[in-house]
Amino acid sequence: MTTTLRPAGAEQRGADGGRSRRFTVCVNSRPVGVIQLATDERFGPEAGRIVSLDIDEKDRRRGRGTVAALAAEEVLRGWGCRWVETRVPADAAIALRLASALGYVERNRGMIKSLPDTPPELPGDAEVRPMGEADYDVWHERGRARYIDSWVQRGVPYEQAAAKADADHRRLLGDGPHTADAVLRILAHGGQDVGWLWLGLRDRTQPDTPAWVFDVEVAPSRRGQGHGRTLMLLAERECLARGIRTLGLNVFAGNTAALRLYESLGYRATELCLAKPLL
């Protein structure tokens, strides 16, 4: 039997060169599922995405999904994509096994926590203050460099990583330290700044979305002393003070220390982002 992809509609083109198209997965011309492909608006037309892949129940466990994914990679290569990513729910064991067998590796994962009724206590010697203009400028430049490097280390070209960093900044911190719904805090200990927190509050147009920890940074010389945990507890307190009961975050693969911290605080993985190069 031959598994192929048949276009299920016209290809969509964006002004920025982005592309997307829906395909029907067919076995000997018989429809058995659907797959949606797109380029990634965050990184430009060289980055492809398998947005969704669904095989009909009666045709699952017969290799249809595997062949469809491989055919999708060929489509993306034809579009000029150099790598492809897909997002899989953390509890989708079959899909995760399929992705692993095809050579996809975890790039990052989303995690979420339902907050307790009572705000957690901070250590008695923790000193917290809002981030001022001068603090913000230094923190932002340092954070931008770290953010770009985190993507470059995962195979994203520098120019694309820098463009994403700047686009995210414009979208999420357009007014710097005065951006509405952004909480920027500095943690000090013994009179010395030891940590920085960037918390994005809930989008009021989407009331079901959680608040989001965009960045937690601890000074290199002060790591391993519990300041990261204090910053995360501070994020919880800031949320609860505003009536927000759900907090999410992203952690890059390989950041074992951060992952262990989040798990110890009760965060659970919700979605894995998997990627592979298209050689």
Residue 4 — pLDDT band, cuts 50, 70, 90? very high
Distance CA 31, CA 209 (A): 35
pLDDT tops 90 at residue 151? no
Please report, rounded to a whole number, the percentage of residues in the chain having pLDDT higher than 90. Answer: 81
pLDDT digits (tens, 9 = 90+) for 47-73: 999 999 999 999 998 999 999 999 999
Helix residue ranges per DSSP H, 79-189: 93-101, 133-152, 158-172
pLDDT tops 90 at residue 102? yes
Query: Model's pTM, two decimal places?
Result: 0.88
pLDDT tops 80 at residue 207? no
Which is nearest to 247 in space by CA: 260, 238, 259? 238
Stretch 225-247: mean pLDDT:
95
pLDDT digits (tens, 9 = 90+) for 110-139: 999 999 999 999 999 999 999 999 999 999
Distance CA 257, CA 5 (A): 42
pLDDT tops 70 at residue 203? no
Question: Do 116-244 and 3-81 have the same topology in CATH?
Answer: yes
Residue 14 — pLDDT band, cuts 50, 70, 90? confident
Least confident span in 69-78, 155-164, 212-221: 155-164
Task: Could you list the beta-strand ranges (E) of the chain.
Answer: 3-7, 12-13, 19-27, 30-40, 44-55, 83-89, 105-114, 126-130, 182-189, 192-200, 211-218, 246-252, 268-277
**pLDDT value for 155:** 79
Q: Mean pLDDT for the chain?
A: 93
Stretch 14-35: mean pLDDT:
92
Please count the other Cβ atoms lying within 10 Å of the Cβ belonging to residue 170.
Answer: 9
**pLDDT value for 40:** 86
pLDDT digits (tens, 9 = 90+) for 182-201: 999 999 999 999 999 999 99
Q: What is the CATH T-level fold of the domain 3-81, as seen in this structure?
A: Aminopeptidase (3.40.630)
Least confident span in 79-88, 126-135, 152-161: 152-161
Stretch 241-246: mean pLDDT:
92
Which is nearest to 265 in space by CA: 221, 219, 216? 216
Q: Does domain 116-244 have CATH number 3.40.630.30?
A: yes
**pLDDT value for 145:** 95
Strands 83-89 and 268-277: antiparallel
**pLDDT value for 209:** 74
Stretch 34-48: mean pLDDT:
90
Residue 204 — pLDDT band, cuts 50, 70, 90? low
Domain coordinates in residue numbering, the chain:
3-81, 116-244
